[in-house]
Amino acid sequence: MSLDTVSAAQENPNTPQPYAELGLRDEEYARIKEILGRRPTSSELAMYSVMWSEHCSYKSSKVHLKQFGEKAPKSDALLVGIGENAGVVDIGQGYAVTFKIESHNHPSFVEPYQGAATGVGGIVRDILTMGARPIAVMDPLRFGLANAPDTRRVLPGIVAGVGGYGNCLGVPNIGGEVVFDETYAGNPLVNALCVGVMRHEDIKLAKAHGTGNLVVLFGAKTGGDGIGGVSVLASETFSDSKPTKRPAVQVGDPFAEKVLIECCLEIFKADLVIGIQDLGGAGLSCATSELASAGSGGMEIQLEKVPLRDPSLSPEEILMSESQERMCAIVEPAKIKQFLAICKKWDVTSTVIGEVTDGTNLHITFNGELIVDVPPRTVAHDGPVYNRPLAEPAYIKEHAAKTLNVPLPTTDAEIKAAVLKLIASPNIADKSWVTSQYDRYVQGNSVLAQPEDSGMVRIDAKTNLGVAISTDVNARWSYLNPYEGAKLALLESCRNIATTGAKPLAVTNCLNFGSPEDPGVMWQFAESVRGLADICLEMGLPVTGGNVSFYNQTGSVAILPTPVIGVLGVIQDVRTRTQMGISQSGLDLYRFGTPDSNLSGSEWAYLHGEIGNAAPKADVDFEVRLVKALLEGQPLFEAAHDISNGGLAAGISEMVLKNKVGASITLTDAGVELMTETPGQVVVAIDPSHESDLLALAAKYSIPLTKLGTTGGDDLTINGEAIPIAELSQAHTETFPKLFG
């Protein structure tokens, strides 16, 4: 087959092209021809198809995401915002921290191990390209029903992939979630977060400046894995039959990435790059077009110089390949010798494949023939934008009209049985089967990790400066009210950060939804974005970046709207952090906040086959006061735990089980207080001598405070009914080994 060059495209304007098979619409193909003034070459078509895919171009979400800029609060901490590979914030002492969360959902369904592994690898490289050393990862995961055959297929592979890749990299996994719901059957959510640290002066950006500067591709050689991954997998709805697009899933090599990390950090330290970009989704198509678009605009690439694992790859396949562990850097000619020498030292393949020009277009040749001649911005940043139809789904009013009727335990025996049933449920049960596969302590700076309220890592060994990170969302609340659900997700993450003693600083998000072509799904998405933008403005927290994952849908069944919200906080001295577990007898237990009787969206309702009728409403003023109270009162707390999924029943059980120290609590309305998940509740344990200080703190911030009981003994005792810790532990820990072990 002859090479499809730019001159051939001009001479043969009517050559049929498989644009529809590549995911492009008729009007999108027509627009490409209008931009170029001719039909695209096959290589240009490949580039536009992957870069204009939903996953890369955000064509259905851009009109809504702009709210994050329009409503952005003023933030002295924000150093790099939305638009780069990851956001960067100032945490003091000259340190900058970068963090971001992304999805790798569809590939993880097709090939669980590699899909999850390369999801971790991709987000780590995003952090690396900012000039930072990756210091921690997190993995919010969601699956279909825990006992479903396909869950037993995908969950072990996904967990092994997350652990296998992260462990080999030597990056600790400090938190995440494992949640089950039938709507995720066929569409598991694999969201990966990474955080990295650097000095302010070491921040790198993805820009190609300076005529004559060289374009260097370094890292792994390019193979046939991942071709079309983003356009084929992440931008379409799965049919009810199992997908057969295994070649579109990338294959990861964590040892190659570990070497690449160290190589990059040495290159950064020597100040050898003008700009840098990783090769993730859309591969070389993305790296070259984004670097050129964000820089001066002109770039020449000689595609035949790209090192290949498979010499049979066509130019189109080279441009679309999503082979992992690759980076693209812009280097001054005077520094190229030193750059290549560092790569050689680390045994990292490195090749000069082009240079920055004073032109306006991205030119790519193959063996001397011009196969791409495009304005780079049209590929990378000026793709189609759709303001898709949206409409409130009928189920919203249908659920609102229903009465939620879920039985609550009343007698002592019923209370004991209910607590044991709840903490044994897959969503609440101990996740050690998962977390034991992750290295949580490598690098030696992990301070808190699962199952704590937030993960925490030390940044500076001398001053003990640190950061805390939490990811959260109750997707059932988002289903009932996506606007409030997004707000509540952020507030829960903030509580989790503050409960450990860190001050919330910035936000990232991974917005997981069904098909954008469904007006009901688009309404869910629009309301979620509106809620998140509003709450960030009210809380004064900037959104630094994130990810949108659409088409999480099998046939007509969409997932619950799942906007996973990550919050990063800063703590001046990690040695002062508060843990969730009760550490000793003789402490007094108090509850901040007041539970109401709304069981909608709760785990207890879910266990009875109900979702409810009305999500809680976010009380932002109260939550701001609560965060301030938690931070000011942190020296008083011997333990603290946010009450969320599973309510007080789960929360107090987790506090008792962490260190096997019992507690005795007395409740006025035990069923309601144990099972509702009213936002804004935190349980704290204090030395009795600090009672007056705690009462004064609660009064200062107008926070309701209730004494629950005391710590000690070998039981969790509720209103006189004792549940032995051994029995509680057995119920909590047996579930996952029985399901998956």
Asked whether residue 228 carries a pLDDT value surpassing 80, the answer given is: no
pLDDT 10s digits, 623-677: 999 999 999 999 999 999 999 999 999 999 999 999 999 999 999 999 999 999 9
Average pLDDT over residues 9-19: 94
Asked whether residue 615 carries a pLDDT value surpassing 50, the answer given is: yes
Average pLDDT over residues 188-208: 94
Q: What angle do CA 584, 586, 591 make, to 5 degrees?
A: 90
Residue 104 among the catalytic residues: yes
Asked whether residue 590 carries a pLDDT value surpassing 70, the answer given is: yes
Torsion-angle region of 361 (φ positive above 0: left; ψ -120 to 50: alpha; else: beta): beta
Q: Please state the separation of Cα 630 from the chain's center in Å.
A: 26
**Distance between CA 707 and CA 695 in Å, rounded?**
10
Structural contact between residues 213 and 333, judged by C-beta atoms closer than 8 angstroms = yes
pLDDT 10s digits, 311-368: 999 999 999 999 999 999 999 999 999 999 999 999 999 999 999 999 999 999 999 9
Structural contact between residues 87 and 126, judged by C-beta atoms closer than 8 angstroms = no
Residue percentage of the chain with pLDDT more than 90: 93
Q: Tell me whether the omega of the peptide bond preceding residue 451 falls within 30 degrees of 0, making it cis.
A: yes
| Rg, Å, the chain Cα set | 26
3-state SS class at 51:
helix
Residue percentage of the chain with pLDDT more than 70: 97
Tokens of 492: 């829960």
Beta-carbon contacts of 66 under 8 Å, excluding residues fewer than 6 positions away, are: none
**Distance between CA 132 and CA 85 in Å, rounded?**
12
| Among 55, 106, 363, 641, the one annotated catalytic | 55
Torsion-angle region of 40 (φ positive above 0: left; ψ -120 to 50: alpha; else: beta): beta
CATH hierarchy code of domain 395-543+551-740: 3.30.1330.10
Structural contact between residues 608 and 406, judged by C-beta atoms closer than 8 angstroms = yes
CATH topology of domain 1-74+205-387: Phosphoribosyl-aminoimidazole Synthetase; Chain A, domain 2 (3.90.650)
**Distance between CA 516 and CA 532 in Å, rounded?**
19
Looking at residue 1, what is its pLDDT? 55
- The model's confidence at residue 205, banded by pLDDT at 50, 70 and 90, is confident
> Tokens 């039938």 belong to which residue?
182
Asked whether residue 230 carries a pLDDT value surpassing 80, the answer given is: no
**Distance between CA 399 and CA 39 in Å, rounded?**
51
Looking at residue 233, what is its pLDDT? 46
pLDDT 10s digits, 414-448: 999 999 999 999 999 999 999 999 999 999 999 99
Structural contact between residues 507 and 599, judged by C-beta atoms closer than 8 angstroms = no
Looking at residue 637, what is its pLDDT? 98
Structural contact between residues 387 and 66, judged by C-beta atoms closer than 8 angstroms = no
| Among 64, 104, 363, 399, the one annotated catalytic | 104
Structural contact between residues 528 and 511, judged by C-beta atoms closer than 8 angstroms = yes
Looking at residue 245, what is its pLDDT? 41
- The model's confidence at residue 132, banded by pLDDT at 50, 70 and 90, is very high
**Distance between CA 39 and CA 20 in Å, rounded?**
14
pTM, to two decimals: 0.95
Tokens of 155: 């969950």
pLDDT 10s digits, 479-512: 999 999 999 999 999 999 999 999 999 999 999 9
Beta-carbon contacts of 458 under 8 Å, excluding residues fewer than 6 positions away, are: 445, 446, 447, 464, 465, 466, 574
pLDDT 10s digits, 517-545: 999 999 999 999 999 999 999 999 999 99
Indicate the domain borders of the chain.
1-74+205-387, 395-543+551-740
Beta-carbon contacts of 71 under 8 Å, excluding residues fewer than 6 positions away, are: 533, 534, 536, 537
Average pLDDT over residues 80-98: 94
pLDDT 10s digits, 268-298: 999 999 999 999 888 999 999 999 998 887 9
Looking at residue 641, what is its pLDDT? 98
Tokens of 193: 């977060």
Closest C-alpha among 467, 666, 673, 495 to residue 570: 467
Structural contact between residues 502 and 570, judged by C-beta atoms closer than 8 angstroms = yes
Closest C-alpha among 186, 85, 676, 665 to residue 409: 676
Cα–Cα distance list, 593 to 629, 670, 703, 719 (Å): 12, 16, 6, 20
Residue 608 among the catalytic residues: no
Mean pLDDT, all residues of the chain: 94
Closest C-alpha among 169, 76, 178 to residue 121: 169
Classify residue 652 by its DSSP letter: H
